[in-house]
A and B are shown apart, each in its own frame.
Chain A
């Protein structure tokens, strides 16, 4: 018998251990509490700017005859914040804690707390990584996207001044593994050579929020960018070299390009297209370019940064009326004398510069604006809706990005918050599932802030896909059976499912509908009811759209 125990003992222990792990993963305790050390005082940066922007919009709506939508309820704002900062809907655990929070200005405090959570750094980092190096993993050997992204996540989490981060991305020397910022340069390596044009185009797009790529081949048709200016900007990367020792700059190197007309090589010297006084005389060419781009006087830089944070919060870039400007990297030129009639983007950009390029403060500022807190539903006539949204009098409907969809779906099927404290098993499963899902759902790549509608393959994936189906099935690893058991009554079951999936309670009519349905299907067990309801909620437009 002892011999058998010797053989089966370790296996038994392992089995019990694994069982315990699975059990605690599947059935965590739900605690509705506020930590004793939670801050009572809110640090609301830029109060004056918030008032200034709010009043600018009020006047703009009044003068143009727009009717502002009512303010959305706190749970809707919590959902928006969670989607923007963590990439998921809030967990049931978080919703319970939020509802138990009686502190005044709890939304502002929660925003502050969300910024301290590492999910914020991770999620923002992925967005910035796309802007600078795209979504591809190539070129192999010299490019490490994961290092670049993790490095940005650290900078965001530490709230390092944004101008310093950008200066490092443009100007850093070193090896792509040890100095992750250099991966901006190495992502543009093609056949062992650095593509200066690609780097120049990306710099203008990601850092200055404008597009100059057209000027690569001809003078820009609309903006004031000339082909020569593009070549001169590219020349800032003309001394950059790549070797097994990393990215370096050779001060003696000459930058030559083939003239498209004569087909002969000609030398190009670096020059900035405007305000050369912002460019220091010392440093490598890339460091000079970095300093010029991020100069506190360079309005394009601060506007582009604020626009990027705005897009992150709303799901779409800032614009004023004209959809033409709704692209993240296609901002209009700043007015020469901004003091005359500043627009909200300038007001926020000024505050951003004054704060020392503080990203977290800008997130808090935008989150506190009236326009961020308006409802997406309104009473205005149907044919005027679009124009109201274009002027931010109504909160826009924006399709969630694939990561937000899969993140929300996985969060909705888990009662406990999925974060860095989750079990390794849970986090690993999430990562695998996310990647599979993203491939099928369709990643928008660097164009992720473009306005897009839903697609048929996405509908099919949500309705019939394995990941969704398996996650909501009534089995012990999923939240659905636990919610059903814990609910005790159909009313509580209904409310809990609505909260986990849609971050709201059902309306009277909705509750009546589902309760009637369940009464008619009296043979349906509560686990099955939760399964069906989850399917309905996850497939509803409300789940897939930021509202």
Chain B
């Protein structure tokens, strides 16, 4: 793919790339000039960079229709359960492919939160901190690329795929750690091609650089804080990068694409795998439509039709490519749904005792933590797990110290995560 077409008579991609680099250097575009491609997939064992894929279930999925069914009970509704590859553990029957893969993951059925509002709940579960008017916390997805920087990456290190409403943000780490959003993954990237030939584009960039310097006069640090010039430089680097191919799925076989499912979420999971392979540290793939205040069961069946093949294919694919041990996969939403079924055949918000599935990255698999009351009378689950503890586990598994303190703009140091790693999930 040629984003910067070369001057007449030069027909080699490499030369074209070099020209861009020398032009960038000549113009004082200080953004890291790309190094050699450092595909994660080319490294093995401890050399391989660790990454996080978060499958974000937007709207709050029902634990009873996913990872914690209670068939045959008053709260269970019509949802049936099937056996999984974790002996004695059942999940909802409309997730048969995941039932096969479950042995490679662990299930927590007792996550607890105090946030029952979508926006606040999303903030809490994405950051591990409750909303606080004095400071905006970074999402765990932003902490990973912040702590595990990659010098060879020419595309954003934190990517959000799909239509989720509140993609992870960098918070006090800075807007440069906000997730780079692709609304419809695998369908081509917008705005990556200059609209004029390369000579004209070069002259435009030169003019732009001159104007940026002129604006910086007398504003110095303030102009730098706008990140305007830096984002332009990053965009130019990205436009010319071979790593952009990670966002495309045409190279994948039809079988692979079918396996993931030709849905926005399915394509998102496939792109997520490709991004991780390329060296991206954190990817969030969103699946919407779980806010089932009415017709809960139909809604979840429809969501499962997208979730099941994509999630299962992702696990299989990561394993087949020897990427699973370096990639943590987390499937989670902002809260669960009430055991009580409302008159509209729906379930409402339920931040107490909801479920998540996590695995990969060297975490222990086949573990099931927590239990909810099959009668629904007892609100609190057995062995309640804090979201903070889950994140402390994930961070420490990714070799990031959750107890590390960062100074925030309000002059108050904050821990990366306020939790304690869960020994059940860590290999001794």
Q: A389 contacts B228, CB within 8 Å?
A: no
A459 within 8 A of B: yes
Q: A458 — which chain B residues lie within 8 A by C-beta?
A: 231
Q: B217 — which chain A residues lie within 8 A by C-beta?
A: 377
Answer whether A377 and B218 are a contact pair too, CB < 8 Å, given A456-B231, A541-B223: yes
Q: A460 contacts B192, CB within 8 Å?
A: yes
B21 within 8 A of A: no
Q: B410 contacts A541, CB within 8 Å?
A: no
Answer whether A379 and B227 are a contact pair too, CB < 8 Å, given A517-B207, A536-B211: no
Q: A463 — which chain B residues lie within 8 A by C-beta?
A: 191, 194, 232, 235
A1 within 8 A of B: no
Query: What 0/1 readout, one digit per residue, does chain B (120-134) give for beta carbons within 8 Å of chain A?
Result: 100000000001111
Q: B215 — which chain A residues lie within 8 A by C-beta?
A: 540-542, 547
Interface residues of A in 522-544 (CB under 8 A from B): 532-533, 535-537, 539-542, 544
Query: What 0/1 readout, one digit per residue, does chain B (124-168) give for beta carbons within 8 Å of chain A?
Result: 000000011110000000000000000000001000000000000
Q: A459 contacts B207, CB within 8 Å?
A: no
Q: A507 — which chain B residues lie within 8 A by C-beta?
A: 214
Interface size class of B (residues with CB under 8 A): 35 or more
Min CB distance B172 to A, Å, is 11
Residue of A211, A397, A465 near B223 (CB, 8 A) is: A397
B288 within 8 A of A: no
Interface residues of A in 453-485 (CB under 8 A from B): 453-461, 463-465, 469
Query: What 0/1 readout, one digit per residue, does chain A (214-238) give for beta carbons within 8 Å of chain B?
Result: 1001000010000000000000000
Min CB distance A170 to B, Å, is 21
Residue of A191, A440, A539 near B348 (CB, 8 A) is: A191
Q: Which of B134, B174, B228 has the most CB of A within 10 A?
A: B228
The residue of chain B having its C-beta at the shortest distance from the C-beta of A463 within the complex is B235
The residue of chain B having its C-beta at the shortest distance from the C-beta of A221 within the complex is B132
Query: What 0/1 readout, one digit per residue, does chain A (359-387) give for beta carbons within 8 Å of chain B?
Result: 00000000000000001111100110110
Q: B221 contacts A382, CB within 8 Å?
A: yes
Q: B178 contacts A379, CB within 8 Å?
A: no
Query: What 0/1 readout, one digit per residue, does chain B (182-219) give for beta carbons within 8 Å of chain A?
Result: 00000000111111100010011001101110110111
A323 within 8 A of B: yes
Q: B204 contacts A459, CB within 8 Å?
A: no
The residue of chain A having its C-beta at the shortest distance from the C-beta of B117 within the complex is A198
Q: A532 — which chain B residues lie within 8 A by C-beta?
A: 196, 200, 203-204, 207
The residue of chain A having its C-beta at the shortest distance from the C-beta of B175 within the complex is A453
Query: What 0/1 readout, one digit per residue, does chain A (388-426) give for beta carbons within 8 Å of chain B?
Result: 010000101101000000000000000000000000000
Could you list 16 A-B pairs, sorted by A, with CB under 8 Å? A214-B131, A214-B132, A222-B134, A377-B217, A389-B222, A397-B222, A397-B223, A454-B175, A458-B231, A460-B190, A464-B195, A465-B190, A510-B210, A539-B208, A541-B229, A544-B228
| Chain A residues close to B by CB (< 8 Å) | 191, 198, 211, 213-214, 217, 222, 263, 323-324, 327, 329-330, 375-379, 382-383, 385-386, 389, 394, 396-397, 399, 440, 442, 452-461, 463-465, 469, 507, 509-510, 513-514, 517, 521, 532-533, 535-537, 539-542, 544-545, 547
